[in-house]
């Protein structure tokens, strides 16, 4: 298993924080500070059996001695959440990645819209803003009944910075009204189920890209490319050449050739399998790399090649 820059942590606390939701606190086994993380950054967990799963940090990023994540038990998921809920216990050691990405927090007002467990990155973002002495944000949480992580949401509600919308009692508020009510020049971010994300994305389609942020749980369906063509992958370090058939998965081709690349989400949203390319022109179909990152990185779980040859730094 690839564990580039992996960090050894120990599970020091596990708390029930909602129906089917547990909060895990990870710390250095010897009490050292952990590498810094941006608000709501993503963390890969290297789980038993070779599983790699990615979760957003929900704790305050200025708490440098711990990473805190919240995991909803998904019976019909891919196994990672059930493993964490059913097998991991306090005192267990676990390798994790360096934190990456996160919720952008520039100047101006921030509107956060969350569905259920999608609140996790925005709780971290709220902590960061409050630590800066800022209250120019509002968090809206849509939940069926009591929301997950209610203990972290409650102080924000009490101070007027958050509102919980219990959809078992009232109709879900219109996203259009929330966005229309934000101050001019505000930034907006959303994390939740696919219908909510699609609605949010449609409503913010005309907004400047730097003012809109989406956090995805489930990769969107990958539409086959009718113009896909075969190409050759070249691994720069070994010189190995891999022939990839038209429309085939680059990640699958690399795995079959024994390349050291591991996939988590399989849909270009988590960033786990990112690799650097040295020559050629990728066709990027991910949802996680920035325009700058796409100048030198690609996500092999979804990327293809625009040309006949693509050289990777592997």
CATH superfamily, domain 7-96, is Translation factors (2.40.30.10)
**How long is the chain?**
314
54: nearest Cα among 248, 173, 217, 191 = 217
Comparing 49 with 166, the larger pLDDT belongs to: 166
* Domain parsing of the chain, residue ranges: 7-96, 110-215, 231-312
Residue 305: enclosing H or E segment and its boundaries? strand 304-305
pLDDT in tens, 15-71: 999 999 999 999 999 999 999 999 999 999 999 888 889 999 999 999 999 999 999
Distance, CA of 283 to CA of 165 (rounded, Å):
40
Per-residue pLDDT at 3: 46
Distance, CA of 26 to CA of 93 (rounded, Å):
9
pLDDT in tens, 152-162: 999 999 999 99
Strands 275-279 vs 297-298: parallel, antiparallel or unpaired: antiparallel
Q: Is the pLDDT of residue 133 over 60?
A: yes
Residue 265 pLDDT class (50, 70, 90 cuts): confident
Strands 137-143 vs 231-235: parallel, antiparallel or unpaired: unpaired
* DSSP per residue, 76-106: TS-SHHHHHHHT--TT-EEEEPPPB------
Q: Is the pLDDT of residue 310 over 90?
A: yes
| CA 11 to chain CA centroid, nearest Å | 21
Per-residue pLDDT at 5: 65
The stretch 140-157 carries a mean pLDDT of: 97
The overall average pLDDT reported for the chain is 92
Q: Considering the chain, what percentage of its residues have pLDDT values greater than 90?
A: 79
The class of domain 110-215 in CATH terms is alpha beta
132: nearest Cα among 105, 100, 98 = 105
Tell me if 272 sits within 8 A of 264, measured CB to CB.
yes
The stretch 245-266 carries a mean pLDDT of: 89
The stretch 116-130 carries a mean pLDDT of: 97
Residue 186 pLDDT class (50, 70, 90 cuts): very high
Distance, CA of 154 to CA of 15 (rounded, Å):
17
Q: Classify residue 160 as exposed, middle or buried by CB count within 10 Å of its CB (0-12, 13-18, 19+).
A: exposed
273: nearest Cα among 44, 20, 23 = 44
Distance, CA of 113 to CA of 193 (rounded, Å):
11
231-312 maps to CATH 2.30.30.140: no
Q: Which two tokens stand for residue 184?
A: 């001019």
Residue 154: enclosing H or E segment and its boundaries? helix 150-158
């Amino acid at each position: 298993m690839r564990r580039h820059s992996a960090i050894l942590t120990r599970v020091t606390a596990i708390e029930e924080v909602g129906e089917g939701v547990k909060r895990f606190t990870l710390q250095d086994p010897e009490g050292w500070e952990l590498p810094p993380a941006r608000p709501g950054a993503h963390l890969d967990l290297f789980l038993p059996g070779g599983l790699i799963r990615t979760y957003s940090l929900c704790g305050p990023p200025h708490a440098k001695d711990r990473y805190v994540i919240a995991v909803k038990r998904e019976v019909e998921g891919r196994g990672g959440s059930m493993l964490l809920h059913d097998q991991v216990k306090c005192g267990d050691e676990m390798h994790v990645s360096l934190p990456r990405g996160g919720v952008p927090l520039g100047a101006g007002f921030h509107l956060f819209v969350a569905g259920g467990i999608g609140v996790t990155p925005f709780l971290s973002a709220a902590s960061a803003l409050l630590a800066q002495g800022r209250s120019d944000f509002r968090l809206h949480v849509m939940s069926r009944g009591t929301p997950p992580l209610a203990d972290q949401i409650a102080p924000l509600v009490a101070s007027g910075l958050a509102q919980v919308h219990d959809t078992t009692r009232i109709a879900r508020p219109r996203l259009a009204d929330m966005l229309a009510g934000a101050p001019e020049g505000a930034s907006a971010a959303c994390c939740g189920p696919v219908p909510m994300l699609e609605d949010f994305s449609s409503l913010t389609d005309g907004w400047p890209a730097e003012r809109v942020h989406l956090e995805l749980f489930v990769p969107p369906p990958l539409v086959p490319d009718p113009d896909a063509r075969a190409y050759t992958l070249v691994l720069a370090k070994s010189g190995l050449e891999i022939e990839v058939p038209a429309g085939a998965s680059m990640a699958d081709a690399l795995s079959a050739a024994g390349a050291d690349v591991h996939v988590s989400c399989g849909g270009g949203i988590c960033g786990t399998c990112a690799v650097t390319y040295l020559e050629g022109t990728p066709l990027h179909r991910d949802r996680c790399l920035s325009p700058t990152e796409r100048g030198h990185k690609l996500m092999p779980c979804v990327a293809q090649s625009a040309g006949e040859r693509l050289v990777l730094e592997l």
